[in-house]
Amino acid sequence: MKVLSVASEVAPLIKTGGLADVAGALPAALKAQGVDMRTLMPGYPKVLEALGDGRQILTDGDLYGGPAQILYGKAAGLDMYVLDAAHLFYRDGGPYAAPDGFDWWDNAERFAALCWMAARLCAEGHLHGWQPDVLHAHDWQGGLAPVYLQRMGVSHKVGSVMTIHNIAFTGSAGSDMLGRLRLPAEGYNSGGFEFYGRISALKAGISYADRVNTVSPTYAEELKTPEFGMGFDGTLKFRGSAFSGILNGIDTEVWNPVTDPKVIPYKALRGKAKARAALTEELGLDPDRGPLGVVVSRLTEQKGLDLLLHALPRLLERGGQLALLGSGDAWLEEQFLAAAQANPGQVAVRIGYDEPLSHRLIAGGDAILVPSRFEPCGLTQLYGLRYGTVPVVANTGGLADTVIPLTFATRTAGVATGIQFQPGSGDACVAAMDTLCDLWAQPKAFQQVQRNGMKHPVGWDTSAAEYAALFAEASKHP
Ligand code: ADP
Ligand code: GLC
């Protein structure tokens, strides 16, 4: 089975969030399932640099306003097709936004171009010796690809799977863009890619792909409700059994406390104490206070960190501490910085993106705090489980699917791995801080929860098999 994955970010080449981790990890995870996955991504400067001399596979004289080529080669150990289109992707700044933080004005065309070339690779694969059976599109940036497969007349030969990592990003464009985006006018309706009077690339993927999935079973159920579906609930319900949830895994080699070169490695909790001591010293925190809650996150509405601000006084009052690494909304950055200033030695805040520090936080913390309003899967609670850092999470999406909450029953059975609370509630977050501090006050019970977490499977094995089965369902040559 040959699968072409189409993604706007792929770790370790370029990353703004978990999508990159998943797109980067799936090819290796799927190899064991007999799936030969190659990845198509945009030729951002860093990506072209990592690719070096690629082999030219396809050219296009006018790809949404300029010349383009697809180069094939290895980058960061992955089999990559890179879309080299300087007028669209060779820019300073992030994958979606300019250095001033504003979205690129032409994002609709940029990712339409990625999808167009993905469909061409599928339509013309036989010409260059690698014919995909299935196209795997990630998020709205890949959403138009299934439409283009149909437009190029190959959707009966090449299957398609659309993976929703986050429904909040719809890939919206005005209806006057139909022609410019090379979309068929007859698809502009509620059963196609029309969404509240505009074009939505995400809706296109949901409507046209042979199979649709999201990144946890609970989020798949939540998405079918008006509360979480953000307007897509009806369409997703309509897809019936063609829509499912497959839980993300993490790269258990990169995130392995025993071999992690970014931390003082440890196998058991005694060793973790050293990583903790190094972290409290680095951040100027009090080594004798606890529990030490850590956060590694984008600072946005989704992540519910305003709820944590509400609950922070309780954590501190009870002797706990907080260390946060993140960046995003200015008001959240300011409030956390103010909290650090007001509580020296008890709250440490680092604004920015820092991969090595994220490892040191996960290794050195006692608890990883994830108070999200919604969370399709979430990866940091999985890192926490693996590093014996107890997840304290909102009971939603993938957080609900990965953490066994402390209750009377789970405690009696000795199986709890973390603490869960009602999403979106500041008071529930305060109560969760109390539960955490109560547990911390009983070292044996705390350690049991840590050890349970360290045994919880967080890798890709099961989910890779589910993806392989999904690709087989979508394939036109079963
Ligand atoms: P999302 O994709 O919604 O941001 P996930 O939990 O799925 O949430 O993935 C976030 C990923 O980005 C994780 O690998 C996390 O460690 C990483 N991350 C987020 N913020 C930072 C940061 N400021 N520095 C380093 N890594 C970060
Ligand atoms: C999204 C979601 C996150 C998920 C990630 C990878 O960014 O917000 O929950 O883990 O994609 O699938």
Please tell me if the CB atom of residue 246 comes closer than 6 angstroms to any atom of ligand 2: no
- Of all ligands present, the nearest one to the C-alpha of 7 is 2
Please tell me if the CB atom of residue 211 comes closer than 6 angstroms to any atom of ligand 2: no
Q: Which atom number of ligand 1 is nearest to the Cα of residue 362?
A: 16
**Ligand 2 centroid to residue 389 C-alpha, Å:** 20
Please tell me if the CB atom of residue 377 comes closer than 6 angstroms to any atom of ligand 2: yes
Q: Report the nearest-CA residue for atom 22 of ligand 1.
A: 353
Distances (CA, A) of 451 to 96, 274, 458: 40, 17, 14
Q: Do 471 and 133 meet the contact criterion of CB atoms below 8 Å apart?
A: yes
Collect all residues with Cβ–Cβ distance below 8 Å to 373 and sequence separation of at least 6: 301, 302, 303, 304, 394, 396, 423, 424
Please tell me if the CB atom of residue 18 comes closer than 6 angstroms to any atom of ligand 2: yes
pLDDT digits (tens, 9 = 90+) for 316-372: 999 999 999 999 999 999 999 999 999 999 999 999 999 999 999 999 999 999 999
Please tell me if the CB atom of residue 165 comes closer than 6 angstroms to any atom of ligand 2: yes
Q: At 14, list the tokens.
A: 């370029």
- Local structure of 440: helix, strand or coil: helix
Q: Which residues of the chain have pLDDT under 50?
A: none
How many alpha carbons lie under 13 Å from residue 132 in its C-beta half-sphere? 29
- Give the mutation target among 19, 96, 140, 222 for probing the ligand 2 site: most ligand atoms within 8 A of CB: 19
pLDDT digits (tens, 9 = 90+) for 224-262: 999 999 999 999 999 999 999 999 999 999 999 999 999
The C-alpha atoms of residue 460 and residue 56 are separated, in whole angstroms, by 32
- Of all ligands present, the nearest one to the C-alpha of 26 is 2
Q: Which atom number of ligand 2 is nearest to the Cα of residue 375?
A: 9
Please tell me if the CB atom of residue 142 comes closer than 6 angstroms to any atom of ligand 2: no
Q: Do 11 and 24 meet the contact criterion of CB atoms below 8 Å apart?
A: yes
**Ligand 1 centroid to residue 348 C-alpha, Å:** 18
How many alpha carbons lie under 13 Å from residue 308 in its C-beta half-sphere? 31
**Ligand 1 centroid to residue 156 C-alpha, Å:** 37
The structure's pTM equals 0.97
Within 10 angstroms of residue 96's Cβ, the number of other Cβ atoms is 16
Q: Which atom number of ligand 2 is nearest to the Cα of residue 397?
A: 9
Per-residue pLDDT at 453:
98
The C-alpha atoms of residue 293 and residue 346 are separated, in whole angstroms, by 10
Within 10 angstroms of residue 199's Cβ, the number of other Cβ atoms is 26
Q: At 453, list the tokens.
A: 């977490």
Per-residue pLDDT at 126:
87
The C-alpha atoms of residue 339 and residue 112 are separated, in whole angstroms, by 43
**Ligand 1 centroid to residue 10 C-alpha, Å:** 13
Please tell me if the CB atom of residue 21 comes closer than 6 angstroms to any atom of ligand 1: yes
Q: Do 134 and 3 meet the contact criterion of CB atoms below 8 Å apart?
A: yes
Burial of residue 331 (number of CB atoms within 10 Å: 0-12, 13-18, 19+) = exposed
Distances (CA, A) of 65 to 68, 86, 273, 359: 9, 10, 57, 42
Closest by CA position to 167, among listed 112, 236, 109: 236
The C-alpha atoms of residue 139 and residue 282 are separated, in whole angstroms, by 38
Please tell me if the CB atom of residue 296 comes closer than 6 angstroms to any atom of ligand 1: yes
12 preceded by cis ω (within 30°)? yes
Q: Report the nearest-CA residue for atom 20 of ligand 1.
A: 297
Please tell me if the CB atom of residue 401 comes closer than 6 angstroms to any atom of ligand 2: no
Per-residue pLDDT at 127:
84
Q: At 42, list the tokens.
A: 């945009």
**Ligand 2 centroid to residue 341 C-alpha, Å:** 31
**Ligand 2 centroid to residue 398 C-alpha, Å:** 9
**Ligand 1 centroid to residue 17 C-alpha, Å:** 5
Please tell me if the CB atom of residue 356 comes closer than 6 angstroms to any atom of ligand 1: no
Q: Do 73 and 52 meet the contact criterion of CB atoms below 8 Å apart?
A: yes
- Give the mutation target among 9, 251, 262, 358 for probing the ligand 1 site: most ligand atoms within 8 A of CB: 358
Q: Do 374 and 222 meet the contact criterion of CB atoms below 8 Å apart?
A: yes
Distances (CA, A) of 132 to 1, 224, 476: 8, 31, 11
**Ligand 1 centroid to residue 160 C-alpha, Å:** 27
Per-residue pLDDT at 478:
61
Please tell me if the CB atom of residue 372 comes closer than 6 angstroms to any atom of ligand 1: no
Please tell me if the CB atom of residue 354 comes closer than 6 angstroms to any atom of ligand 1: yes
